[in-house]
Amino acid sequence: MQTNPLFRSQQLGEASNSLILQLVYINIGILVAGSTASYFLARRTLRPVEEAHMAQVRFTSDASHELRTPLAVMKSEIEVTLRDKNAPADELREILESNLEEVNNLSRLSEMLLALSKMDHEKLTLVPVSTSLLAKKVIERFKQPTTRLILETKGAGKIKGNEPSLTELMTILIDNALKYSPADSQVLVRVFTKGDVVSFEVQNEGKGISAEALDHIFDRFYRADSSRTGGQTKGFGLGLSIAKQLADINHATISASSAPDETTIFTLNTQKAKIQ
């Protein structure tokens, strides 16, 4: 029995069209699946870069805000002095020395920010740093009575860190403790070593921090309840956020604990530098 050539040709044409249509659908499916997979893989690959960029932008913004306070103080001192035509020489010298100290501190912080802006976190100079000596230098900057600001050191070893950023970190924590404690109370700064960990601890008395607030005090622009400050808004907005970033830069951990109406403690833990 012979097959009709026309029918055979029609069958071949239908099979060819069906095959082409299937290939089109398969290619479209592959294209869609490949595009979707590429999109998610690209997002996953770029996520660390995006997070690092956003962290750097937030930190630079926070630090810029933090720079405004010392600059405002310096400007105010200079303006007041210029208005006093009969200011004695010793008073002028004292103001100049105070401004020079602030300029030096701002210069160190600016150098650190410049390095951060270039995304060179890992290229920041890390050198052996004596936490006890550094803490002593920072405390001397506050010019507080020894009955107000107390330093205790016990077996404090050296850590490997960036000295300018560690100086700023210690300054933030001590300044925070002084602000949020009664003027006649003691602020205790302890530097000690436990095993391979070197700790820098700042403890102050006064109104504590609520458990809810403790979960957010390192967040940007967060402020604790006004009862802790007597209604004054002078902290917890940016300083502690910057402190957290500085701790990360130095491969350290920072934490806080507080008991209502008793004491608040901020602790910085860093690995002890290995002696080579």
Domains of the chain in start order, with CATH, are 124-276 (3.30.565.10)
* Cα distances (Å, whole numbers) of residue 141 to 61, 98, 152, 258, 268: 25, 10, 17, 26, 20
Tokens matching residue 224: 């604790």
229: pLDDT confidence band, cut at 50, 70 and 90? very low
**Is residue 52 predicted with pLDDT exceeding 70?**
no
What percent of the chain stands above pLDDT 70? Answer: 77
* The predicted structure's pLDDT at residue 191: 95
Task: Name the one residue in this structure whose structure tokens are 């200079």.
Answer: 78
**Is residue 231 predicted with pLDDT exceeding 60?**
no
Can you count the helices (H) and strands (E) in the chain?
6, 7
Residue 175 CA to residue 239 CA, distance in Å, equals: 9
The verdict on pTM exceeding 0.75 is no
Tokens matching residue 223: 């402020």
pLDDT in tens, 114-170: 655 554 455 577 889 999 999 999 999 898 999 999 999 987 778 999 888 899 899
**Is residue 247 predicted with pLDDT exceeding 60?**
yes
* The predicted structure's pLDDT at residue 233: 42
**Is residue 273 predicted with pLDDT exceeding 80?**
no
pLDDT in tens, 95-107: 888 888 878 877 7
**Is residue 261 predicted with pLDDT exceeding 80?**
no
**Is residue 270 predicted with pLDDT exceeding 90?**
yes
State whether residue 48 is helix, strand or coil.
helix
Helix 163-179 × helix 131-142 angle, to 10°: 50
